[in-house]
Amino acid sequence: MKPTTSNKQSGFTLAEMAIVIVLGGILLAAGLMAGRGQISRTQAQDVIQIASDLQTAALSFKQRYGYLPGDWIYVANQIPNVVAAAGNGNGLITGTLNAVTGVATAATEIGQAPVQLYQAGLIGKLGTDATRRIQSSFGPVHMAGTAANASAGYIAANPAVLNVVVFFNLPCEVVLDVDRALDDGVATTGKVMTDAACTAGGTAVRTFVPL
């Protein structure tokens, strides 16, 4: 007589299923983090490109006309379709920005600077809002003198920087990626700085890059 054998249990045990679920969750979280990191780096590259384009355009403008955009002293017909200018030629792009919204007064040097670059053929796009002609994916972008528009901490750390590109409302992850690419990787030190400490998940109201 053959001995009887018990049927083998098929499928996963509860413990095995729990392990599979946990591992799946870890892999999913890692994938999401990697995806967010890639998006942040792409957005940072867009910000870096805007800063680089404005730095190059401002330098070309100064070489051509003798002054920075906005600070240019008006000469009739020198720049097509520019019929007036507030520039005083002092080397600063003057005017003030709303430190929260990034709105500039159109008639100031800050407001006129992007228009002059555009009419001179040195930048390819110009927004229709006269108070925010240039924008990133997150908010307004301006060229401005540091004295009236950079934080006290930035001015103290960078006394030789007279004009900056000011980005509004950048996510802190983007700020840190930009800072790693252009500066020291710390948002509150160096030549690329925020106006306050920037932590993951937060937003920097203003980020300054030397013009």
Q: Residue 119 and residue 122: Cα distance in Å, rounded? A: 8
Does residue 32 fall inside a structural domain? no
Does residue 119 fall inside a structural domain? yes
Residue pair 204/198 in contact by the 8 Å Cβ criterion: yes
Does residue 28 fall inside a structural domain? no
Which pLDDT value is given to residue 53? 98
The end-to-end CA distance of the chain, in Å, is 95
Helix (H, G, I), strand (E, B) or coil at 66: coil
134: which 2 tokens?
A: 């240039």
Radius of gyration of the chain (CA): 26
Q: Over its length of 211 residues, how does the chain's per-residue pLDDT go in tens digits?
A: 555 555 555 666 877 677 777 676 665 555 544 555 566 789 999 999 999 999 999 999 999 999 999 999 999 999 999 988 889 999 999 999 999 999 999 999 999 999 999 999 999 999 999 999 999 999 999 999 999 999 999 999 999 999 999 999 999 999 999 999 999 999 999 999 999 999 889 999 999 999 9
- Strand-pairing partners, residue 143, are 165
Does residue 91 fall inside a structural domain? yes
Q: Where are the beta strands (DSSP E) in the chain?
A: 134-135, 140-145, 163-171, 193-194, 203-210
Q: Residue 60 and residue 147: Cα distance in Å, rounded? A: 23
Does residue 36 fall inside a structural domain? no
Does residue 10 fall inside a structural domain? no
Q: How many domains does the chain have?
A: 1
Which pLDDT value is given to residue 68? 98
Does residue 112 fall inside a structural domain? yes
Say what the pTM is.
0.82
Q: Residue 211 and residue 209: Cα distance in Å, rounded? A: 6
35: which 2 tokens?
A: 């995806």
Does residue 160 fall inside a structural domain? yes
Which pLDDT value is given to residue 14? 75
**Domain with 126 in it:** 41-210
Q: Residue 52 and residue 131: Cα distance in Å, rounded? A: 21
